[in-house]
Amino acid sequence: MKKLLRFLVPAFAGLVSLAVAQTPAPAPVPATPMMAPTTPVDASVGAPKVGNKRFFELHDSFLARGKAGPIGVLFLGDSITEGWGKAPHIWEHYFGKYQPANFGIGGDQTQHVIWRIENGELDGISPKVVVLMIGTNNSASHTGEQIADAVKKIIDLTRTKIPGVKVLLLAILPRDARRNTDGLITEAAIEDAGKRVAANDRANDLLAKLGDGVNVRFLNTNAIFLGRDGKIPWTIMPDQLHPTAAGYQLWAEAIEKPLAEMMK
C-alpha cells in the first residue's frame, strides 16, 4: 500500500500542475477611458443653435426682412426683444415712425447673435440705430466679464457691418427666482437666480463703460421694473424675466427720448 501511495501522489501532483498550466489566464480588464473635461462654450465665438428649427426659420425671416425694405431702427436680442411682438400697439406707437425691425430670438445667447451677424443678418441694411440687449441667457454658464466681452464683440461687428450706425446699448434687465409648475419658489431656483443676477450685474457694470456718448450710448432702465421693495412686481414680470405689455409700456417710455435723440 505504501508503494502504491508513493506512486499515486507524484502522479496526482503532476496532473494538477498540468491543469493549472492549461487554464487560460483571465482576459485583461480594459482601462476605463478618461472622460474629457467639458469645454465651456465661448460666449464670444459665433455658434448657431444646431437642431433648433425655429432659430433657423427666424434667421431666414430676418434675412428676408433686410431685403424687403428700409430699416430705420433695428432691435437685436433674445426673447425679451422678441417679446415686443406681445405688445404691437406699443411697438407701433413708439417706434413705428422709424421703420423698425425686430431681430430678437427667444433663448439666444451672445454666441448665437454673433453667428447671426456673421451669417448675413446685418448685410445690406442701414439703420441709423441698433437697439441691443443680450446676455441674460448666458448668465447660467458665463461670468459677467465673459458676457461683457461678447457684447463688445457684437457692437464691434455691428459697427463694422453698418458703418456709421449708432448703438443704443440697454442694460440686461433684472430677473429673480421663478416659480415652478406648482407655483412654488424652491431653494434651487433662488440659488440659480442669485448666480444669474450676480453675473448680469457685473456685466452691466462693464457694459456701462462701453458707452462713448457718440457712437454707443448705454442706458440702464432696470429701476423702472422694480417696486419700492426692490423686487420685481409679478404684474410686470410674471415669470420674473419677461415683461408683460405693462412692462413693455414702461420700457418704451424709458427708451423713447434717448432713441429719438440718436435718430436725429
Q: Annotated catalytic sites, by residue?
A: 79, 239, 242
With residue 166 as reference, give the H or E element that holds it. strand 166-170
Distance CA 89, CA 200 (A): 30
DSSP code of residue 74 = E
CA–CA–CA angle 150, 152, 154 (5° rounding): 75
Exposed/middle/buried for residue 201 (C-beta within 10 Å: 0-12, 13-18, 19+): middle
Among 112, 106, 52, 103, which residue's Cα sits nearest to residue 79? 106
**Category of 164 on φ-ψ map: left (φ > 0), alpha (ψ -120 to 50) or beta:** left
